[in-house]
Structure 1
Amino acid sequence: MHNQNSSFVRGNKYGQSIVVWFQNKSKVRFITVCLIVVASFITGIIFFGIFQLSMKVTDNIAFCTSCHSMGIAYQEYQASKHYQNTSGVRAICTDCHVPSEWGPYVLAKVEATRDLLAEVRGTIDTPEKFAAKRLELAQRVWARMEASDSRECRSCHALESMIAADQTKEAQAQHARAPTKNETCIDCHKGLVHAMPDLGPLAQAAFADLEPTIGSIPAGATTVHSLVTQPFFMDAGGETKGGQVLAGIPMAVVQVADGMAKVRLAGWRQEDVERVLYAEAGKRILMASLSSEAREAIETSGDSVTLEDTGQTWSRAVLEGWMPMASLTADTDKLWNYAGALFSTNCSLCHALPHTNEFDANQWMGQLQAMVSSTSLEKEEARLVQTYLQLHAADMAEH
């Protein structure tokens, strides 16, 4: 009996201890926190697994091409060497468009939701809609590739692993200079898999911005340029020809009256070459061709130089004349923006776009003349681009 009572008492004490233990609020909170941590950990594992699975499911080419809006892009891909080639190595959509590193990978997936929205909204689900958006879509991809130094391209292609001797001479030259010019793969290899978009709208947009400034000279303007090569006259009535001023050449504003502008050309003349006015001594930056009347009226200062490398003597010269305002603009920035757009849209299709300071003024003249026949530049557009390049050349930093 005594033993039974003792056992009962001890059991009671144990039960009371447990009750007391659970009645301790701090201990209850501890248990609650532990349960929450364990539950969160398990939930996190499940969520991460589902997330990873969903990411991988969206990485296959079947998923990428399941949207109607990707139909045209997929057809272009199938016609490219990334799809079928002599080595039998195939790069799929994600190899080029999805980074392998975790952070950029997730960001790319988030950004891809824009494509899903486009599919739902039907913004590029027809050839006509796709064509209208192609340039915008391409620019977005090009910008991302430039920002990452063509990271996805380099995951398969490495300059140091290339056998240069098996490449064309042009490719060898471009690949050799790429590291020194901070150029990246996409600079030269646009349109490699998908059709190259029409870049014309870029120049058209720049011209639309420039157009309202043409034909008027705001009060206080000090410099004007002609959009095209244009005649100038020695009198306001336009009776005595002075010659022609080339597109883009800067001219100082002297007077404006009745749709005509009196302008001042300040440049250099080479000794015994009096029919032409140049922007700088020793540089073939043609400003104007001069009539006999203009040659008589031109003012040559005593400020002259003889160049050591050529032995040529050059003298400063100033000429004033009158021009119709119809083709003049006083907005230098918008003019150069337009000229730069013409340059970039015509000269970045076959190779990386050179920077304006990559060549000196005389070299740019030869470079452009050698390549202009391969572009869609019209005669006056080419003249404007030449002036733009020469005035922004490596040896013309002051301009």
Structure 2
Amino acid sequence: MKRIFISLFILATFLWAKNIAYSDEVISLYLNQNDTKVIGRLLPTNAFEILKDQNDKVYIKINGYLNPKSPSVIYFNNSQRIIVAAFSKNTKLNFSYIKKGKNGKWDQVSLKIWADKKDFAKDNKKMLKRAKELFTNNCGICHTLHSEKEFNANAWPSVFRSMVNRTGIDKKDQWLIIEYLQKNAKDFKTK
């Protein structure tokens, strides 16, 4: 009897476990499963939950924060411009509000949306390690390598973009490195 109970418990845990995934590349987002028009992009290293897997697309849930002044962007936390996903400005998105922001903090939201299916990872450790290696091996060629903690999270994207054309970093890896730098910045705040 005890074995049956344990087996049922393990099965229930498996069935109810969230299917959290990460990508090391930018992922195209769509309002509907059969759409071909891209309406947004999910940036690398950010967690999302796979709700449904259908052919070449997955139905996912993205959690993050929405600045009322930028309603087409989901951010990583409630006060910094670390982008999780960005959408076309005229796209009508159906956000589920988890918690309204107070005292200047942004609203915590959830969004269910379709995405291109890729080879997703179960965590972001390897991709962050690769981002660090790309940064270290390419961004100290012309000058002394900047420390990840040298700039704040909101400054890193423009600092990186001002110098990336002088490096050998592939365009497909640029957002991976920006996300790495922002999530290791001197003022980075976890959720």
With the shorter chain as reference, the TM-score category is 0.7 to 0.9
Cα distance, 1:376–1:275 mapped onto 2, change above 3 Å: same
Backbone CA RMSD of aligned residues: 2.8
- 5 Å matches for 1:93-172? none
CA distance in 2, matches of 1:223, 1:389: 22
Alignment partner of 1:325 is 2:117: yes
Pairwise CA distance, 1:320: 1.1
Pairwise CA distance, 1:386: 0.2
Query: Looking at CA atoms only, which structure, 1 or 2, has the larger radius of gyration?
Result: 1
Q: Contact between 1:246 and 1:288, CA under 8 Å: does it hold in 2?
A: yes
Runs of 5+ in structure 1 lacking a partner? 1-218, 308-312
Cα distance, 1:232–1:221 mapped onto 2, change above 3 Å: same
Pairwise CA distance, 1:393: 2.1
In terms of fraction of residues, the more strand-rich structure is 2
* Structure-1-length-normalised TM-score: 0.39
Pairwise CA distance, 1:283: 1.2
How big is each residue's C-alpha offset from its partner over 1:213-254, in whole Å with a ceiling of 9 and x where there is no partner?
xxxxxx967432233222112333345754222233332333
Alignment partner of 1:271 is 2:68: yes
In structure 1, the partner of 2:164 is: 372
Runs of 5+ in structure 2 lacking a partner? 1-14
How big is each residue's C-alpha offset from its partner over 1:26-67, in whole Å with a ceiling of 9 and x where there is no partner?
xxxxxxxxxxxxxxxxxxxxxxxxxxxxxxxxxxxxxxxxxx
Q: Contact between 1:267 and 1:316, CA under 8 Å: does it hold in 2?
A: yes
Structure 1 stretch displaced more, 383-392 or 245-254: 245-254
Pairwise CA distance, 1:351: 3.4
Whichever residue aligns with residue 385 of structure 1, its letter is I
Pairwise CA distance, 1:304: 0.5
Any idea what SS the aligned residue of 1:342 has?
helix
Q: Contact between 2:77 and 2:190, CA under 8 Å: does it hold in 1?
A: no
In terms of fraction of residues, the more helix-rich structure is 1
Any idea what SS the aligned residue of 1:320 has?
strand
Cα distance, 1:331–1:279 mapped onto 2, change above 3 Å: closer
- 5 Å matches for 1:350-365? 350-365=142-157
Any idea what SS the aligned residue of 1:329 has?
coil
In structure 2, the partner of 1:300 is: 97
Any idea what SS the aligned residue of 1:376 has?
coil
How big is each residue's C-alpha offset from its partner over 1:187-206, in whole Å with a ceiling of 9 and x where there is no partner?
xxxxxxxxxxxxxxxxxxxx
Pairwise CA distance, 1:317: 1.6
In structure 2, the partner of 1:390 is: 182
Cα distance, 1:347–1:255 mapped onto 2, change above 3 Å: same
Alignment partner of 1:335 is 2:166: no
Q: Contact between 1:358 and 1:394, CA under 8 Å: does it hold in 2?
A: yes
Cα distance, 1:351–1:223 mapped onto 2, change above 3 Å: farther
Aligned residues: 176
In structure 1, the partner of 2:11 is: none
Whichever residue aligns with residue 63 of structure 2, its letter is A
